[in-house]
Structures are given as structure tokens and as C-alpha cells.
Structure 1
Amino acid sequence: MTPIDYEYLQKILKDRSGLVLSADKKYLLESRLMPLARKAGVAGISELVQKMKAGSEPMISDVVEAMTTNETFFFRDKTPFEHFQNTVIPELIKARAGKRSLRIWCAAGSTGQEPYSLAMIMKEFGAALTGWRVEIVATDLSPEVLEKSRTGVYTQFEVQRGLPIQLLVKYFKQTGTTWQLNADIRAMVQFKQFNLLQDYAHLGKFDVIFCRNVLIYFDQATKTDIFGRLAKSSEADGYLFLGAAETVIGLTDRYQVCPNRRGVYLPVGVQVSLSIVPGMGAGLKTSSASIRA
């Protein structure tokens, strides 16, 4: 792979997905793209680049998908989901009592563990949300991971990562060495292909936006732009959840930190008042029991 090839791939990836590759990431690019080159029947990455430059849109899409990181697991980092269950949703239930409707967006849904974690939490509210319209929208750039998400099928390893055993028993059915989410949980989530660099207008407004562990791959200007778009897609008092390594500080004046709520943000000007609802966090307590096939 020549320096010109690398520069071309850097530009394509940034333009198409926002992903920024530094000069020291050639090894990562080679490890992800060499299997794709072999599959395409070409000798190496330079030949792959030539196909892309010749206008092969499917090849460009395959390269972008190959470079997209889809690392995720159920209730990842745990604390944000506790905030969501114990404080944010109870506050929104009070605030939305008139219209009895909640919209939640997972902006980087990957293989589905995050939106399904939220769906299980919402299900745990039971009678408190009877008669409510709860909509969970999960988007991702990759059609392949969205297809996996829709099936709700996970390996033994995947359900062992972060999923409390009581929720596994309650909401999954085991088939051989895999586990599938029950149909009622799968039906709570709409999966859509979407690029965070595109126009958000058609998605509508959301009460809660999870945009976790994706902005770390973007440069400062792209992060600022996305925060502006997210703010426009949020209800005036809507909540934004970011990953543990992400922040709005120094990047936007549209959001403020929620005190004592790591990773949770509100639009600037909204009065911050989050109180804990006793007893609502039981579903996220990690069991010491192991999960066996």
C-alpha cells in the first residue's frame, strides 16, 4: 500500500463515515482490508484502491463497513443504564404524563446489545408504562450488523458480557449454543441504516439519545457538528448519553453536564433535577452466578 493509497482511504473513510485514521493506523487498515481484498480476488490493498477509484460503489461500501468498529455488549459500562433506569425514565414519565409517549434513539446501535438493553429496562417498568407509546430507534452505518441485530440471536460469549443472569432467563430462549431474545423485546426496537454525517431531520425528535462510543473516532470539527445535529433532534428537555471517554466540554455550548450523573447531558438552560427512584435498579444488579449453556 503506497502513501497515496493510504491518503485516499483516509479521505474516503472520513467523508463517508467520519472515521479519522491517523498516520500510525496503517497496520489496522491492512488487517481489516486484506481479507476484503482476498474476497474480491485482488492481490492487495493497492488493487482494491484502484477498484474504488474506478467507481465501484459496492467496493467503497465494503471498505467503509470493514473499517467500522462494532465492539459492544449488553449494559456496557453499566452506570449509564442505571442512570437511565433509576433517574431519567422516572423523570420523563412525570414530564410526559400528558402525552404518554417516549422516543429513544441509539445512534450507533451496532449489533443490538445497547438498544435491547434499553428495551429490557423499559419492559421492567411494567404497569408504570401501561398505555404509553414507547419507541426505540436504533441506527447504524452497517447493513450487516443491523441484520444481526434484527434476529436478536447471540452467542454464549455475547450473553455472558454484561447481561445479568436474571434478565437472560427472563427475556431469552436458548437454542443449542445460542440465545434469542423474546419476540416482544425484539418488537420494541426499530433498526434503520443511517450515517451520522447525514441529515437528521427525517428521524424526528427524541426524549433520550444514546450516542455512545462512536464520537471517539471523529475529529473535533466533526464532533462539534454532530453535537449540533443531536441537539436539533432532541426535545427541549431531552437527555443525551455519551460514552465514558466522550464529553461535550470544549466542543459545544448546546449541552450541559448533569451533576453526579456520569455520561448524562441536558440541553443548556434546562433545569437539572434528577432524583433516584428507590428500588428501580434491581434489574441491573450483576449476579455472581455464571451463565452456563
Structure 2
Amino acid sequence: MLEQRTGQQLAMSRQWRIETVLQSLVRARGLGSLDRLVHAVAAGGDPALADAVIDALLNNETSFYRDRNSFELLLGPAMARLEQARTRERRISIWSAGCSTGQEAYSIAMWFAERKARWVGWTIDILATDVSRTAVDQARSGLYSQFEVQRGLPVTQMIRWFEESPGANWRILPELRRAVRFEVHSLMNPAPSPARFDVILCRNVLLYFSDQVRRIVFARLAEAAAPDAVLMLGAGETVIGQTPAFVSDPDCRGLYIRRPDALPAYRAAS
């Protein structure tokens, strides 16, 4: 069911998570056991229950500025190159695909907000999407626990961009929340609007897909990428041996760029 709805596989090494993550759902629904939960989902009488199971099985692990070295590459030399290339249109579109609870998208929004003078007159469009409605709802709320805020975020930025919220939580200031659009979206589907992005982040998502699904997703990303777009994957992910549509960025090792000559044939094959 997870693979049918999201494209993600639950590999043998992750099957221990099934009982662990679903126990809270079993208790909340008063079902008594995992077997009863399985029967309730299989009966098909409660679509919301099936949705809750899928949400629970998804891995929403993320943090602010996750893998900081990669962010320094993206927001340093790669962004400077895009800034120069977009001088005439003065617009940069960024897609955080598989955004989970939104920390990475907000990390980018903070970076732009702290450099307002540099980007005066520019339109910075940040779109963040995830297949999990629960994750997207949290991201839109901008509400995070003390633990979540402290992961990867310097104290100075926490003080500047967050306000305390009841229950020992922190909420991102409205100014920053307005800077990011959040949508529910599956990477199996065509890219959301504007479907032409200068920066695409798809981090620690592809590793959960089969080879076949991964090829489809790479095709979606390539079709959504501007000719000189930058692609940022997770630290343990690569395009090598995975897709001919992207190659390593020669100026920013660890990031990737689209290969225009490979796209038409790749689209046809996919």
C-alpha cells in the first residue's frame, strides 16, 4: 500500500519500523493490536485510517541546514552563478521536493531574508512539497519543538526568526512562513507550478524508491529543471549510475546540473 501510494518501498532493513511506528495509531484508535489495525485497513471502510498508516510509515527525518557543507555550496557559489544568469528577469524559483516538515525550505528562506538588500527587486519563489499531508500541515504551521529547532540552527537565527509558543514549542515568524508555499505532491506526478525551477532540492528521498521508480522521478525532476538549474541531493545520494539526465556540477562538487542533450532521449525512454 505504501509503494502504491507513494512509490516508496519498505525494504527488509526498515521493516522493524512497521510495528514501532504504528503502535501509537493502534492505541489512539483503541484497536488493541497491530493485527486488528491491518484488518481495519484491509476492510477499506475508513480511508482516513489508511491515510494515517501511510503517514506513519513515511520517514520524515530532516533538520535545518541539514548537511551544512552542501548548503554552503548551494547558497554560495551556485547561487552566485544563478544570480548572474538571472540578472535580467530577476526571479529565482526553488523547489524543495520531499520537503518533510519544512526545515530545509525555511533554511533557504532565512538565508534570503537575511540578505534583503542584495535581493531587492527580485522575486524569490520557494515551493516545498511532500506526499505526507501531516508533514505539510506541520510545515505550514511553522511550529517546531525545542529539539527540532536546535538541530542545525544557530542560536542567533533561532532568536531572530522564531517566537516562543505554548507547550515549549517555537513558531517561525509570519514573515518567513509567507516566504514559502507548501503543497501536497507526489514525486510520481508531474512537477507542480511553475514547473521550471532554477534550484531543486530532492534530499534523502530517492533512496526509498525502486530503480524503476527512481528513473521516473529523475525524469520528473529533469523536466522541471531550467537548462542551467542546480540539483541538490542527500549526502548519501548520487546521479552516477542512476540517470543520464544530470551530471556532477564541475564548479560545485556535490551538486548536480542538467544535461540538456540527454533530456529528450531520456524522456522518451522513461
Q: Same fold (TM over 0.5)?
A: yes
Relative to 1, partners in 2 of residues 1:183 and 1:222: Cα closer, same or farther, differing over 3 Å? same
| 2:199 pairs with 1:199 | no
How far the C-alpha of 1:170 sits from its partner, in A, is 2.3
Determine if contact 1:243/1:263 at 8 Å carries over to the other structure.
Answer: no
What percent identity do the matched residue pairs reach?
37
Which of 84, 102, 116 is residue 112 of structure 1 equivalent to? 102
1:186 to 177, 180, 184: 177
1:210 to 179, 201, 214: 201
Change (3 A) 1:57 1:203: farther
Aligned to 1:99: 89
Which deviates the most, 113-122 or 17-26? Answer: 17-26
Please state if 1:251 is matched with 2:242. yes
Amino acid of the structure 2 residue aligned with 1:100: R
Report how far residue 114 of structure 1 moved.
0.5
Aligned partner of 1:90 among 75, 80, 94: 80
Aligned partner letter, 2:72: E
Q: 2:130 aligns with which of 129, 137, 140?
A: 140
Find the counterpart in structure 1 of residue 151 from structure 2. Answer: 161
1:22 aligns with 2:11: yes
Aligned pairs (5 A) from 1:50-69: 50-55=39-44, 56-69=46-59
Residues 189 and 220 in structure 2, CA contact (< 8 A), matched pair in contact too:
no
Instruction: Give the TM-score, by structure 2 length.
Output: 0.89
The answer to whether the Cα contact below 8 Å between 1:80 and 1:262 also exists between their aligned partners in 2 is no
In the alignment, the residues of structure 2 paired with residue 210 and residue 192 of structure 1 have an alpha-carbon distance, to the nearest angstrom, of 15
Distance 2:21 2:3 in 1: 16
Shift of 1:24: 4.8
Contact 2:145 2:169 in 1 (8 A): yes
* In structure 2, distance between residues paired with 1:153 and 1:252: 37
Q: Residue 74 of structure 1: SS of its match in structure 2?
A: coil
- 1:202 is displaced (CA, Å) by 4.5
1:39–1:203 Cα change, 3 Å: farther
**Partner SS state of residue 238, structure 1:** strand
> In 1, distance between residues paired with 2:174 and 2:224?
29
Name the SS of the counterpart of 1:102 in structure 2.
strand
**Secondary structure at the residue paired with 1:70?**
coil
Amino acid across the alignment from 1:236: P
In the TM superposition, structure 1's runs of 4+ consecutive aligned residues that sit over 6 Å from their partners are none
Q: Which runs of 5+ in 1 are unaligned?
A: 1-11, 271-293
For the pair shown, which has the larger CA radius of gyration, 1 or 2?
Answer: 1
Unaligned runs of 5+ in 2: 262-270
CA distance in structure 2 between the partners assigned to 1:47 and 1:227 by the alignment: 38
Which is worse superposed, 71-80 or 14-23?
A: 14-23
Q: How far off is 1:260 after superposition?
A: 6.1
Cα RMSD of the aligned pairs, angstroms, is 1.9
Sort the Cα spacing of 1:129 and 1:29 in 2 relative to 1 into closer, same or farther, 3 A.
Answer: same
Partner of 1:125: 115
Spell out, residue by residue over 1:231-269, the C-alpha distance to the aligned partner (whole angstroms, 9 max, x if none): 001111111100011111111100000136343100115
Measure how far apart 1:52 and its partner are.
2.3
Please point out which of 44, 49, 52 is paired with 2:38. Answer: 49
Cα distance change on mapping 1:187 and 1:24 into 2, 3 Å: closer
TM-score of the aligned structures, taking structure 1 as reference length:
0.82
Instruction: Give the counterpart letter for 2:112 in structure 1.
Output: M
Return the offset for 1:203: 4.9
1:7: which partner in 2? none
Question: How far off is 1:221 after superposition?
Answer: 1.4
CA offset at residue 175 of structure 1?
A: 4.3
Cα deviation digits, residues 205-246 of structure 1 (max 9, x gap): 111000001111112111111001100011111111000111
The question of whether the paired residues in 1 share the 8 Å contact of 2:78 and 2:252 is answered with no
CA separation of 1:245 and 1:13: change in aligned 2, threshold 3 A? same
